[in-house]
Structure formats: C-alpha cells, structure tokens
Structure 1
Amino acid sequence: QSDSKLEELLEKEFKNENIENLKSILNDPNNNNIILNIINKQDNDGDYLLLRATIMNNIEIVKLLIDYAIEKNITLKINEKNNDGEYPLLWATTKNNIEIVKLLIDYANKYDIVLKINEQNKWGNYPLLQATDKDNIEIVKLLVDYSIEKNIPLEINEKNKMQNYPLFWATYRDNIEIVKLLIDYANKSNITLKINEQNYNGNYPLLLAIYKNNIEIVKLLIDYANKNSIVLKINEQSDDEDYPLFWATYKNNIEIIKLLIDYSNKNNIILKINEQNNDGNYPLLIATDKDNIEMVKLLIDYAIEKNITLEINEQNQMKNYPLFWATYRDNIEIVKLLIDYANKSNITLKINEQNYNGNYPLLLAIYKDNIEIVKLLIDYANKNNITLEINAQNNDEDYPLFWTTYRDNIEIVKLLIDYANKSNITLKINEQNYNGNYPLLLAIYRDNVEIVKLLIDYANKNSIVLKINEQNNDREYPLHWATEMNNIEILNY
C-alpha cells in the first residue's frame, strides 16, 4: 500500500478503536517503514498516536503502541504537547486512568525518559491538579513518588484558569488522605502550601472543608496554619456571600463553630456573624431553623462578649427570620432566648412579619398548638406596645382563630378573644380557608360545645352574623357535622 493509503487505513481503524485491525496493520512487516514514519507524527493540532490513545482513554491501544515501539526499538513520543498544551500523562490523569499512568511511567523508566509532570495546558491544568480533582489518591501517590524518585520538585500550588489548585480540590472532594499527602509532601519539600487562595467563585479550602462538614480537614488546616505562621482566612466570603461561620451553622456543626471561635480568639480576629449570603441567610437565622439551642446560645454569647449587636430581625429571601423559625420549630427556649436578648439589647423584635407564604409567629404558634409561646408573644406585644397580628391570613387563607378551633384548644380561643377585646380588635370568625373551612364548622367537627358557645357568644356581642350554612369544598356544613356527631346540645344551641 502507498504511504497515504496506509495512513488513511490506520487513521480509520484508530478512530474506530478496532484493536485487531490495528494489530494486523502494525504486525504486517510490509508496513514497517511507513509505520515508523507515522507513529510519532504530529498532525496540524499537534496530536500524535499515543496522545490520542490517552485522550480516547483506550488502554489497549496505548499498550499496542508501547509494545510496538519496544519491539521496533523506537523511542515513542510521550512528552510532546499538542497545540493546547496537552500531553499523555496529563490526559491519563484527566481520564482518571491509573493503568495508563503506570504504563507511561514504566515506559519512561525503561528508556530513561523523564516524564513531564508539572507542565500546564492552555487551561492551566497539570497532572497533580487533575488527580486531586478526580479524587484519585493512587494517582496522587504515584505522582508524588515519581517526583521524589526523579528529584523533581512537584508543583503543588499552581492554579489553573479557574484559580483551582491541588489543596482546593482535595478539600472540595472531601479527601482527607490527599490533604494529608499534600501537607506531608509540602513539609518534606520545604514548600509552603497555599491554603487561603480563593478560586474563581471565591471559594477556598477552609470554607470548602466546612461546607463538606469535615471537621478533621478543618483541624488539619488550622494546625497547618499555626505551624507555618499563616493567618487563616476565616471571614472571607465567596461569590455567593457564604463564609465559614455561615456554613458551620448551616451544617449544624457545633464543634466546628467552637473551633472557629477558638481560632479567632487566639488570632485576635472578630468573626463575621451577621453577614447575609445571597439567599439572605445568616448564622442566627440558620441556627434557629436548625432548632439548635446550643448554637443559638453560642452566637448570642459571642456577640455579647465581642460587643456585637446580633442581627435578630433580618429576613431572608423567603422572608423568614429568627423568631419565625423558633415558633415554627416549636422551641419555646429559643423564643425566650430571642426575647431576652432583644430586651437586654434594646431591640424591638419583629413579631408580626409574614414570610413568603404568609405565615407569622402567632399563627405558627397556634398551628403548633403551643399555648406557652402564644402567651409569650401576647406578653411581649403588650410590654412593647405592639398591636399583635391576630387576623392576618396566610396563602392558604388560614388565620389564628381558624387554627385554634382546628386544634380544638379552648384556652387559646379564650386568649385570642381576650386579647382582641382588650385591643379593640374584631376577630375574624367567619372567613373560610382555601378548602372552605371556618371556625364554627371546625368547632362542630371537633364536637367541642364550649368553643361553639364561645364563637356564638362572641358573634352576638360584636354584632356579627355567624356563618351557619356555608359549605366547605366537601359540601360539609355545621348542621351536617352536628348530626354526624349526634350532638344534641349543639343542635339545640
């Protein structure tokens, strides 16, 4: 065959990854001279057969080319870069193929070739960076061992175009063994690791370790910083405005919070505790959402100790705020903590604001059937001259009197009526929610004569015509439920 035809045939079988046909072409003695000219030839993109085989992640073709080169005593190109700066070892690590990495190292050793292990491609990527990105500790070990054996200082700090670097990827991949390997290599090689550098979206190792909720990596980073006189970044925010204390609270990890507080105290750093991220969330808000009273206490104590006015009223994008979450989580101790802190700090708590679906503390407290929180809210409103919201409806058209009749709680019904009377507010007692239910219907459904009497009495005293015939979405109405319950007293009343 002519050179061009054989090259076309080889190209076709190569693209099709047809191993048997490739073997036939390579083993045909008539093709030897032509193959010798082709095997290391680089095309217009700078690619050559071995490089392409690693790009294809085809170990059989890699073996075939290496075996052929050994048999014919050809020195195979294994370090040349293409136009994008890529080379076989880089692609082998990018493809996460440890067997190809081993083949390349073995071939290089056999022919006394020193492999390129630090060269970056046009995107700034290099083998160790790719190995950490791929979370492959075996390849990382191979590269470290190879660099030590060949006395090559391994690049462990270089960033790619996205500003990522090995320690960044090791923490992002949550791989403590790779983190330890990098620290150990850096120590033995007298290299200071980059531990504070931020990537293109502002993330950095400590922030990532906390995001991954990995306290062991957090400890390693703090220990490394201390031993190397590095002031660790503990307040820097990412492009999403996230920061270490934020993630520690979000991950509900009290031990990491304590580590951050301890480190900040020892290094005379004031922790960010009020900053909101892009979703409007901040540590205290998250701690109340997580229903973690110990965390709430830690944040309050830290704020008092550092003379910081703690943010206790800010709403996130969903319009949630600390008191909202404390009532939603049904946690009276956190409610008390917030009220106590607000009083001592001369802050007026938001107690009426509605979130994105229209809920608010009093409505939530009644939904949770928690009379103690209801009393706390009423007491706080009275002491701070706030008119408590007792009629607002949420997106489902639910409102306080609706929920307390549904919960069958006569004491809360009495509290609402008493508060309404003292505050000169007329209670909503007839409004129907999204499925058509309303207080009188619910009270009869619960077979609660006392609540029925209270509602009728309240309506009479306030000149309200009580709904007694309205049907809900299931076509149920007061007389229907009274007869279903066989409650003669309600029927007669």
Structure 2
Amino acid sequence: MILLNASALKKCHLKKIVASCFFIHFVFFGTCQSANVFLERDFWKKDPGIEKIDSLIALGNDITELNNYKFDPICWAILEKVNNSTIQYLLSIKGNEVNKKTHDGRTYIFWAAYKNNVDLMNYLIEKGANLDIIDSHGYSLMNFSATTGQLNFKIYDICLEQGADINNQFNNDGANPFLLLMPYVKQPNQLTYFLEKGLSINSIDKYGNNAFSYACKTGNLTMMNYLLDKGIDPNANNGNSVIFACKGTRKSSNSIQVFQFLDSLKVNMLAKNQENQNALHLLSYRSKDKGIIDFFVGKGLSVNALDLDGNSPLSNSVKRNTTEMISYFITNGGDVSYIDKKGNTLVHLAVNRSDQEVIQLLHDQSCDLNIYNDDGLTPLHLAVMKSNDDQLIKFLISSGAKQHLKTSFGESVYELAIENELLKEAKVNIEFLK
C-alpha cells in the first residue's frame, strides 16, 4: 500500500477540485473548443458538398471525431439537414458505421427520426441500422420520436415494420408512445394512429400519470377538454397534472390561463412529484411570469420548501433565473440564509454561474461572502478555481470576500489560482492574490 503524507494529500485534493471546476466551466461556458472544423455546428448549416468536405479532410480535419458531448460530424449534418447524398458519403467512411453510438447513446437513425428524415432512416436500415437500441435516458427509437414530438406517422410505421412491439414500448417512467406524444398533438384525429394500433386512451405511466397529465405540458386546451370529455381524470396521481404543466417542454412554457383552468377543475395546486418538488420548484428555474408565481404563493406554496435534494424554489432561481426574478422570490419571503446539502450558500451558487449581478443582489441582502461549504471552500475560492479572467475574483474581493482565508486543506487563493489552467491560458496576472 502506498501512503501519502499530508503534503501529498493536500496537492491531490487541490488538483482534484481544480480539475472539477475546470470541467464545470467547460460544460457551461464552452471553453477549449476543438480546432476540427467538422465539429463546428455552424459549418454544417452551409450544406457543404463532398468536394469541400474532402478538401478539409486533406487538411487534417477528422470527419469521424466525437466532441465532448459525443456529437460527431454526421450528427451535425443530420441535425442541420445537409443533403442526404452527402450524409450517405460520410457514412461510407471508416469510423462512421451506421450503429456508432453518439450523444446520449443514440445512433444516427435516432437523429434522422428527430429531423423527420424518413428517406435517411430507410437508407440506414438498408445499411444495417439496429432499431433495438435504447438510449442512455431509456428511450427506444419509437419513444424518442414520440417524446420529441414527431407527428409524421411514417416514422412509427418504420419502427413497427422492423419488429418493434408497440405494446412493449416504455420509457424509464413507464410511459408509452401515446403518452409521450400527447404534448405535441394538436387535434384529436392525431390520436387515431396509436389507438388503432392497440394503445389505450386510458394509458398511464408507472406513477399513474395519464394522457391529461401529459397534455398539460403544452397546455393545449383543445386536447385537454377532449380528454376530459373522454372521461380522463384531471386529478390523477394526486393532481400531478399541475406538475406537468409547470415543466412545459424545452421550447414552451404555459401561461397563467392554463393553471387557472386546472384550478377550475379542482386540480390539486399543492401537488408534489416523487422528488418532493412542487410547482414553484419547477417554475423557479426559468419562469419570468410574476403573475404565475403570485398565483401559486397565493395557493399556499412556499418559496423555501425543500425537495428531496434540499433545493428550494429560491435556490433554483439563483442557479438559473434572472436577477429580477431572484429578487422577486426574495420579496415573496425567500430565505437568503439558505444552505444546501453540500453546505453551499446562495453566494456559492451564484459564483457557480459567474453572475456578478446576482452576487451583488445577495450582498445587498447581507448574505455572508465568507462562509465555507462542506468542501472547505468559500465563494472566493470557487471563483479563483473556475474563472478564466480576474473580473469575478476582483468583484468578490471588492465586495468584502476575505482573500486571506484558506481552504480546509490550507490552500491559499494564490495557490488555487496557480493551479487554474484557464487563468494560465488567458495569461491573467494573479500577483494581486499574493
């Protein structure tokens, strides 16, 4: 067994936490982009031809490389609707096999379905595409198509023709294609396809959420009323339809009229999901509608309620929402002394998003800038570890962050700065931290 002395342990700890912050910065801010032109999504927006692609391959660009999110050139080509003949050429190159795993464990046929490219789907099948793959989020090709709102039913025909069992298609939540497509259905006649294939209008997932619950994601009142007329219970799973309405989709969120409609149906406005999240937990990340926040606060929800992970609506807003909305949550009783399960204060959370305005707001609310989290780090330590310039660091110091405080392992802010590769690459002068 190799034993490390205290000095070695300290150095290992320092490298570990600095590397962690470097990774976080890369994920959120896109630092260290590859020089491979084929990994630039904008390149594929121009629908480059084969001759252009070959010339760039000759210059050393890798047409098979995966980026850090596991997207490769063919993914971008499909997503940007490059000519199919060009995509077919790319598929002929070694390293771009039809069943190559990409982002979230998806193969090219997933992306072809996502872009409603039926011709490419058929070509991939001719070349041996495997339709039995389940992606890393538990979606089959059919369910992925449904949950991304594909209303071209030829896509589902292809899946069935290749042996998919429509009665055995469930995601991790136990939802079938009928439920997953429900948020995107515009008119009742679009339900016919799956109903004629044997799926039931009374389908539920493993938590008891029904078609009405899923329709609430996009708040389509036409479909919601249709389902009510068919006897679908709006209060299934203790009113979880309000949770679905708060989630919305990536591209849409609901107006207050949807929540007022649910309220008129006596849906439980205090409902919580299996993570103990209520409506405010879900709305707090991105909602800019103060009227909706007022609506739920008026129903008795607290902006300080904790979910199973110890997150509150206020802390969620600090992580992602605007300064104006964070201030509004505070005005509605938000507890600025909040500390999460890892010992992070709201200031730690604000530093993680590198937002000086949010930090200033919290400082104006008398939030302490010098509290240690469970990793033995103050907000200033975090800023020094993750920043690629000195602006946030200097802002914190000028606001009262104490630069003489060391981490629980005895590292100074100057030592942390020395280990920050982002500061090195940007050639930031860190002598002011000595």
Task: Give the structure-1-normalised TM-score.
Answer: 0.41
Give the number of the structure whose alpha-carbon radius of gyration is greater.
1
Task: Give the structure-2-normalised TM-score.
Answer: 0.46
